[in-house]
Structure formats: structure tokens, C-alpha cells
Chains A and B, each alone.
Chain A
Amino acid sequence: MSRTVPGERGEEASPARQAPPEGWGVFGATVVLDRTTALDDVTLATPRGEVTAVVGGDGAGKTTLLRTLVGRVRVSAGRVSAPPPVRCGFMPTGASGVWLDLSVAENLDFVAAAHRIGGRALADRRAELLAAAGLAGAVDRLAQDLSGGMRQKLAFCLAILHRPDLLVLDEPSTGVDPVSRVDLWRLISRAAAEDTAVVMATTYLDEAERATTCLVLDHGATLASGAPAAILAGTPGTLTTGRAPAGPAELSWRRGYETRSWHPGPPRDGEEPISADMEDSVIAYTLAAQHSGDAS
């Protein structure tokens, strides 16, 4: 397996580095695990050089979707197109891919050895990643002594060490302080800039807005997908804001000092609809799905 560095890519590209014409991703995937439908006809394309975000609440199917991409879950129906597992990088949720009894350097060395990276290539790559992740001062610290944010960044470094073609991140920033989140985003953007296909699950909707494309999942089904702007533009129903709920309590939610209210259909007389941000939009999509579900 040839490892390419930026700039050299192209001439020596191994077959694994070339995505099929329709690109990598999960197409029309249905996953039934233990008789519950974890994914229902979900399609997610993961083009190279782009960050794709998977958004949704707990149990929405985000982790299952990511696991199908790295070959850890088989689909019951549909198709998965991904590089061979060796060319994928996977960061499981909660930095659980880090060996706590090993130091930062030992963690990196172990993963490098598994991918048969050594010598100069390893030394360079390690220094580069440690500097980028702000872990250079913590090389000899045990992973269990790292703060949550540092551990997540280490987990990210482990996933990307071998320059995977497809980088799959399961909630990389959950539970991480704002400063470390900025660091993590810088690392993610860098990976995408190096022509890696990046897929990340997140519960932070401001992060989803920064992705190239977004997939909103709820109970294993697709609520919306596309560029963030398109998702916002397609927000169903009418969204208003005010001091108090404008309709039934279950269709209202607090945002800071204000209360958002939503109802299906076009604005009623006297209403001043506002344009949704990602958080409002995802809630509106979710409510709309529940509403149509109740109606049928």
C-alpha cells in the first residue's frame, strides 16, 4: 500500500485511492439489528476533500451509519462503497479508541506499527500530528492522565495517522471544551484539504453548518440531506419567535431568552416567520416528521 504525501499524489496513486465513479458512501442502506430498524433506506455520499456531517439525536442511527462505512456493520439492503478497511480511519465515540495505559507517543507508535509505518516517515508524521493537535508537550503522558479534549485529539491523530482515504469520526467533539473544539475543527479541515473524505457524526449543529454536506437522521430515517444552506432553505412549516409559545407547548422550544414556535404549513395572518439556523431547522424537520407520522 503506497502512502502518498500532498503534492506527490496522482502519479503513484494506488487503486485503493481512487474512488469509484459515483464516489464513496452508503446508498439506500437499510440496517436491521435485533429486529429494530437502525437505518432505513439512508443514502450518504462522502466525496473526497469534503466534510460530511451526520446530525441527529441519541439513537438516530448516526453510529450505525458510520459503522457500516468502516465495515463494522453489514447492511440488510442497499450498498456500501468504501475503501478497504485498512484505508479507512475510524475514531470511535468518546476517545474509546485510545489505549489508556500507553503514553501518547506509545499510542501513536502502536497504530503506526500496525500500519507498518516506521522510521523517518513515522517520525515526521508523528511530529506533524502532535504539533497540529497541540499535544507536543504531552508526548510522554499516559493517555489516562490526559484531559478529555486532549484525549479526543489523540484519538483523532490515531485515526488519521496512516493518511486514510476515508476518515470516519464518531462525535469527535462531544464533551470537548470550546478551545479544543476549535483545534479539532482545524485538524478536520486540514484532513479534508489533503483530499481525504471526512465523515463526522455530531450533536453540535453549529459544526454541521460548517460541513460541505449534511445528513439529518431521526430514528434511522433521513429527515433532510444536502448542503447546509439547502437544508436551511428547505425548513418545513413556519417558524416564529417571541416571548411566549405561540401555539401548543410541544411545538415550542427555548432558544436563549426567546421561545421559538413552529407549525406546519404557510405563515398565518399576522405571523412574522423568521429564517431558521441549523438548530431550529433540525427541530422543525423533526417536528414535521412527527406531525406527518401522527397524521397518517
Chain B
Amino acid sequence: MWAMILKEFLELRRDRRTMAMIIALPLLLLVIFGYAANFRVDDLKTRVVGPQAAQVAQQLEPPFDVTSVRPAEGRADGEKALRSEKAAVVVVTSARPGPPTALIDGSQLFSAQSASAAAAASNGALRPQVLFNPHLKTSWVMVPGLVGMIMAFIGTIVTAIGLVRERQAGTLEQLAVMPFRPSDVIAGKIAPYFVLAAVDMVLVTVIGCLLFGVPFSGNVAVFALGAALFLFVVLGLGVLISTLSQNQGQAMQMALMTVMPQILLSGMIFPLTAMAAGVRWIGYVLPLTYFNMISNGVMLRNAPISSLALPLGVLAFMAVLVFSGAVLRFRRDLAPSAPRAVPAKAPALAGEAR
């Protein structure tokens, strides 16, 4: 039995990544759940519009955090601000007597819940009205996020295995002597999965909308653009992982390590605004965070493309980054193994080794 235990430890020591995961994962989970797992939103970015904006803004108490006061704007401008996610709540005041209306962005479920609760507790000082998701249904918010999560899962894991399989089978050597450029091989590896994942994405979106009655209020083309960019990122990430891994087990492990944080920290489950700053920044480097902004915005809020320029741009940048990384790394794989020694010194070294 001791022999078996010893052998297992020896093997484990060789597999550095598993060791790292065993030690790092519990710490990571602790930190992430500790700092990120917070459903309560304490700060609501609030904009006050209408003739009495200045007075009403004075009276608003936390969680309403007044970030701008625009007496010249009206309800239509307020809705626009919500659509573009410039504010979570817009308080619309009017010249007539009566409590002002608090327009609440229902696409951000937890801030919306906080806002409605606070408005309800104001003893009639605010009349809440939830837009985009009037009944504050969880499924409405989850479906746009799930579309991205499923893509990240399938896209990254399936492609991560692709090149590693060739490496393990030895066919990578054969590819290296065939007239292919590294980008040819990578494009060939990605194209079928891109098509499959795109079909998958349409399927999940359509069925999700039908089953849960989620409205698709925005522009399909904007959604498609965001989806395509996001797919490029997750597929490219898969290929990058593939070029970094020596076997399928490693590739699978790494793929899961990239997908897990995306699910937890992209704002899909825990609201980004409620996270501790350190953890939130992790969320901001993950592609799913940006796809979430796009799918949520387009599907629920009919967000204009101008307000989604940032997430779209970030995804495009990430796609370029990930692909360049994969191609460069893969070029190293296909390049002839270069001798370590400087040519001039080689005979001396050779003499030593003999």
C-alpha cells in the first residue's frame, strides 16, 4: 500500500497544474464567494429629471445615489438614459403636484429589486415603475446570460481539445511538414466549431425566449455582431489553451479554469455593482462580462448600438489578442526545434557531452 501511495504522490508532483489547482482553487473559491457573492445592491446610480429635479434630488436618500440632475430633461430622456445604462434609476419629476415617478431598470435584477423596495418604503414619496422587466422575473435576466455561458462552455472546451488531440496523436508533426501556415491550421480548427456554436446560439436564444417568454426587444443585427465577436473570443481562447497544453486532460482543466470564473464573475449571477472592487476588476477582464452587457442590453432594454460600443470594442480587442496569441504560440510549435547552443560553440559542447 505504501508503494501505491508513494507512486501517487510522485505522479502528483509531476503534474504541477493539478497541484496548483488543488491548492489554489479552495482559496479562489473562498475569495470569490466571500467578496462577490452579494445580491444586495447598496448604491443605485440615480438620475433626476424634470422641473423639480433639484428639490427632489436633495430629498433622495440611500440607496439612491444621485449622479446627475437634469431639470431640462423629461421622461423620454430618462428612459433613454436607462436604455443606455447611464443610470439604474431615473426619477421623473413634474410641475404638477404628486409624488415623482422612479423609473427602474428591470434588466438589472438586483438593483431593480433594491430600488423597488426602497421606493415602496418611501411612504409614497416615490412612485416606482419598473421598465424592461416589469414583473422582475429572474428568467428574463438569466436567459441572455445563459446564452453566453453556454457558448463559453461549448466554445472553449471543444476547441481546447482540438489541437491537443493532433499533438497527442502525432499528426501535428505531419501538419508541420505539410504546406500549411499556422493561421491556416487554426482557422481550419475553428471554422466548424464556429458554425456549430452559431447554430447552438440561435437555438438557445430562440428556445430560451419562447420557453420563458423573454422579449427580444432590440436589434437582431447588434446581437448577432456581439455574439460573433464573443464566439471568436471563446473559440480563440480554446485554441490558445490547446497550444499551451500537452495533453487533453490539461486542456480540459485549463478550459474549465477559464469558464468557471466567467460564470461567477461576469455579472450574470452576482451583480457586478455589488462586488468588492478587487473581484469586480477580475470580472472586467472576462469576455462573458461584455457579452452579458450586450445580450442583456439588446434583448431586454433595446439598447442602442452607441451605448454598446464599449463592450463590442472590448470583445473585438480580446478576439484579436487571443488569436494573435494562439497563432504566435502555435507558430513556435510548428517551427523547427532550434538547438540551444550557439552554432560556433556547438562542437565544444558536443565534446563535453561525449
At the interface, yes or no: B15 with Cβ under 8 Å from chain A? Answer: no
Q: Categorize the interface residue count of chain B.
A: 20 to 34
Minimum distance in angstroms from B48 CB to a CB of chain A: 63
Q: Would you list which residues of chain B between 168 and 182 have a CB under 8 Å from chain A?
A: 169-171, 173-174, 176-180
Bitwise, B329-354 to A at CB < 8 A (1) or not (0) is 00000001111111100110110011
User: Assuming A37-B354, A88-B177, A114-B179, is B169 touching A100 (CB within 8 A)?
Assistant: yes
Contacts A85-B179, A90-B177, A111-B178 given: A35-B340 contact, CB under 8 Å?
yes
Complex Cα spacing A98 to B338, Å:
26
Q: Which of A74, A114, A219 contacts B338 (CB 8 A)?
A: A74
Main secondary structure of the interface of A (DSSP, over half): mixed
Question: Do A72 and B177 contact each other (CB < 8 Å), given the known contacts A32-B339, A35-B340?
Answer: yes
Contact of A97 among B173, B340, B346, B354 (CB under 8 A): B173
Query: Which residue from A77, A88, A99 sits with its C-beta under 8 Å from B171?
Result: A99
Q: Is A14 an interface residue, CB under 8 A from the partner? A: no
Q: B residues within 8 A CB of A90?
A: 173-174, 177
Tell me whether B353 and A35 are in contact (CB under 8 A): yes
CA–CA, A32 and B179, complex, Å: 27
CB-CB under 8 A for A30 and B350, given A72-B173, A72-B336, A76-B341? yes
A74–B336 CB distance below 8 A = yes
Q: Give every chain B residue within 8 A of A77 (Cβ-Cβ).
A: 343, 346-347
Is A75 an interface residue, CB under 8 A from the partner? yes
**CB neighbours of B342 from chain A (8 A):** 76
Q: Is A40 an interface residue (CB 8 A)?
A: yes
Which of A74, A88, A114 has a CB less than 8 Å from the CB of B337?
A: A74
Assess whether A11 is interfacial by the CB under 8 Å rule: no
Q: Is there an interface contact between B339 and A31, defined as CB atoms closer than 8 Å?
A: yes
Q: Give chain A interface residues in 29-44, CB to chain B under 8 Å.
A: 30-37, 40-41
- In the complex, what residues of B have CB within 8 A of residue A73's CB? 336-337, 339
Interface: A115 (CB within 8 A) = yes
Q: Which of A189-223 contact B (CB under 8 A)?
A: 219, 221
Picked from A40, A75, A97, the residue with its CB within 8 Å of the CB of B339 is A75
Q: What CA separation (Å) do A11 and B341 show in the bound complex?
A: 44
A36-B353, A70-B177 as given contacts; A92 in contact with B339, CB under 8 Å: no
**Chain A residues in 8 Å Cβ range of B353:** 32, 35-37
Q: How far is the CA of A77 from the CA of B347 in the complex (A)?
A: 8
Contact A40 B354 (CB under 8 A): yes
B183-210 near A? 1/0 per residue, CB < 8 Å: 0000000000000000000000000000
Q: What are the residues of chain B within 8 A of A290 when measuring CB–CB?
A: none
CA distance A158 to B171 in the complex (A): 12
Chain B residue with minimal CB distance to A111? B178
Interface string of A17-54 (1 = CB under 8 A from B): 00000000000001111111100110000000000000
Compute how far the CA of A86 lies from the CA of B170 in the bound complex, rounded to whole angstroms: 19
Q: Is the CB of A74 within 8 A of B177?
A: no
Bin the interface of chain A by size. 35 or more
Distance in Å: Cβ of B222 to nearest Cβ of chain A:
37
Report yes or no: A92 in contact with B343, Cβ–Cβ below 8 A. Answer: no
CA–CA, A192 and B339, complex, Å: 32
In the bound complex, residues from chain A placing their C-beta under 8 Å from that of B354 are: 37, 40, 219, 221
Give 1 or 0 for each of B210-249: 1 = CB within 8 Å of chain A CB: 0000000000000000000000000000000000000000
Known: A35-B340, A77-B347. A96 touches B173 (CB 8 A): yes
Cross-chain contact A92 with B174 (CB below 8 angstroms) = yes
A94 within 8 Å of B by Cβ?
yes
B346 and A32 contact, CB distance less than 8 A: yes
A96: chain B residues at CB < 8 Å are: 169-171, 173-174
A226 in the interface, Cβ–Cβ < 8 Å? no
| A 266-279 binary contact with B (CB < 8 Å = 1; else 0) | 00000000000000
Contact B343 A97 (CB under 8 A): no
Per the bound structure, the CA–CA distance linking A90 and B354 in Å amounts to: 30
* A186 nearest CB across to chain B (Å): 23
Residue of A nearest to B342 (CB): A76
User: Of A37, A92, A97, which one neighbours B350 at CB under 8 angstroms?
Assistant: A37
Report B329 CB to chain A, min CB distance, Å. Answer: 18
Instruction: Say whether B177 contacts A76, CB under 8 Å.
Output: no
Determine how close the nearest CB of chain A comes to the CB of B193; give it in whole angstroms: 15
The answer on a CB contact under 8 Å between B349 and A32 is: yes
| A71 at interface by CB-CB < 8 Å | yes
Q: Which positions 162-182 of chain A face chain B at CB distance < 8 Å?
A: none
A158 surroundings in chain B (CB, below 8 A): 174
Q: Which of B174, B180, B349 is the most central at the interface, judged by chain A CB atoms within 10 Å of its CB?
A: B174
Return the chain B residue nearest A70 by Cβ: B177
Q: Which residue of B lies closest to A293 (CB)?
A: B354
Which residues in A have their C-beta under 8 angstroms from that of B340? 32-35
**Which residues of A have CB within 8 Å of B347?**
30, 41, 77
Query: Of B173, B179, B346, which contacts A76 at CB under 8 A?
Result: B346
Contact with B along A90-113 (1 / 0, CB 8 A): 101010111110000000000100
Q: Which residues of A does B touch, CB under 8 Å?
A: 30-37, 40-41, 67, 70-77, 85-86, 88, 90, 92, 94, 96-100, 111, 114-115, 158, 219, 221
Extra pairs beyond A76-B343, A96-B169 (4, CB < 8 Å): A30-B347, A32-B350, A32-B353, A73-B336
